């Protein structure tokens, strides 16, 4: 039987995946109680429920506790340098539009050194799903203030307390040109975290999800009042939005029917000080995607790949005089 015929037969039977298919053989090294565990579980559940082929799934990250997530996914992963997860993911997506590309980044990785890439990723509106794990502190490097650290917080870089008001990733993102999907989730409401991630995945464009994520080591009481008092959580619902299970609805009674096409209301909700909104704040599926605008300019064919590789090899080859290139000794 030829290989082509074998491939055709395999396509006739869709391969079903289970949760274990997306779990790597590396045990997560996050602290007990770290909210990153909830994000990882939501990611693996999504891959299973959408039956995403592991070899067609890519997780890209920068540097930080959250950026270890690709190590724990049985899929392709790219652990990049600090603040550079988004341009790497954009490069992957524009050359391989057939892949499912996810980006995981932290509040320091994204909102500080990676802030320029964050802004332009929103503007490009490529078909990516980004999760900003916001624990409001630098965790991996042991408690330095990040751009989202609340004012007055004592840290190793601000022993007298943070002087400036914290940056709000939601309002910033909603102020960028071509924004198309903005949502917020909390790690302690895993069902809604999963639903929001699924909504983001099905959006064609750049999906930005801020996940409020507890750090039990360096910000261990930051979200206590919101965990203990569900009335301080505002759940955003609408016709095609979150579906609250009865047991969740009984706990989180502070609900608002919100139209995610209403930018003005989305910005008002994002600016709340005394409550935490959870849900899809803004959604505009009509914003054009940069990868679609550039599609077809340089088709990624095997012949093109071979040509580019040969050109690059010729460029770095070492020639002796005017003669042919000589092999460089290792």
pTM value is 0.87
User: Are the C-beta atoms of 93 and 291 separated by less than 8 Å?
Assistant: yes
Q: Would you say 282 and 182 are in contact if contact means Cβ atoms under 8 Å apart?
A: yes
> Which structure tokens are listed for 318?
């070492």
Secondary structure (DSSP) of 128-144: -EEEEEE-SSBTTTTSB
Q: Write the pLDDT tens digit of every residue in 128-159.
A: 999 999 999 999 999 999 999 999 999 999 99
- Using alpha carbons, select from 153, 145, 148, 182 the residue that is nearest to residue 167: 148
Q: What is the DSSP pairing of strand 100-106 with strand 57-61?
A: parallel
Q: Which residues are CB-neighbours of 180 under 8 A, at least 6 positions away?
A: 125, 203, 205, 206, 207, 282, 283, 284, 285, 287
**Over the Cα atoms of the chain, what is R_g?**
22
Domains along the chain? 16-297 (3.40.50.970)
Cα-Cα-Cα-Cα torsion 70, 74, 77, 79, nearest 10 degrees, comes to 30
The pLDDT tens digits for 247-299 are: 999 999 999 999 999 999 999 999 999 999 999 999 999 999 999 998 876 66
Q: Model confidence over 19-55: pLDDT tens digits?
A: 999 999 999 999 999 999 999 999 999 999 999 999 9
């Amino acid at each position: 039987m030829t290989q082509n015929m074998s491939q055709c037969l395999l396509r006739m039977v869709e391969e079903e995946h289970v949760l274990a298919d997306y779990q790597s053989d590396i045990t997560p090294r996050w602290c007990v109680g770290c909210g990153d565990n909830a994000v990882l579980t939501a990611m693996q559940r999504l891959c299973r429920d959408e039956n995403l082929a592991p070899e067609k799934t890519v997780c890209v990250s920068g540097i930080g506790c959250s950026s270890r997530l690709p190590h724990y996914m049985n899929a392709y992963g790219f652990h990049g340098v600090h603040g550079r997860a988004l341009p790497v993911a954009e490069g992957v997506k524009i050359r391989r539009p057939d892949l499912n590309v996810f980006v995981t980044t932290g509040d320091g990785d994204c909102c500080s050194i990676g802030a320029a890439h964050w802004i332009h990723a929103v503007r490009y509106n490529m078909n990516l799903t980004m999760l900003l794990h916001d624990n409001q502190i630098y965790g991996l490097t042991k408690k330095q203030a990040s751009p989202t650290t609340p004012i007055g917080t004592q840290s190793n870089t601000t022993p007298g307390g943070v002087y400036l008001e914290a940056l709000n990733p939601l309002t910033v993102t909603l102020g960028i040109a071509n924004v198309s999907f903005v949502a917020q989730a909390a790690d302690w409401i895993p069902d809604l975290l999963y639903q929001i991630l699924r909504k983001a995945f099905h959006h064609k464009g750049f999906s930005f999800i801020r996940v409020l994520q507890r750090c039990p080591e360096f910000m261990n009481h930051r979200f206590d009042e919101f965990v203990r008092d569900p009335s301080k959580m505002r759940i955003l619902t609408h016709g095609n939005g979150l579906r609250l299970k009865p047991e969740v609805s009984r706990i989180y009674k502070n609900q608002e029917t919100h139209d995610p096409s209403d930018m003005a209301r989305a910005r008002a909700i994002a600016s709340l000080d005394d409550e935490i909104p959870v849900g899809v704040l803004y959604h505009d599926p009509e914003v054009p995607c940069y990868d679609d605008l550039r599609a077809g300019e340089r088709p990624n064919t095997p012949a093109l790949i071979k040509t580019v590789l040969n050109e690059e090899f010729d460029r770095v080859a070492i020639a002796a005089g005017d003669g042919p290139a000589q092999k460089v000794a290792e």
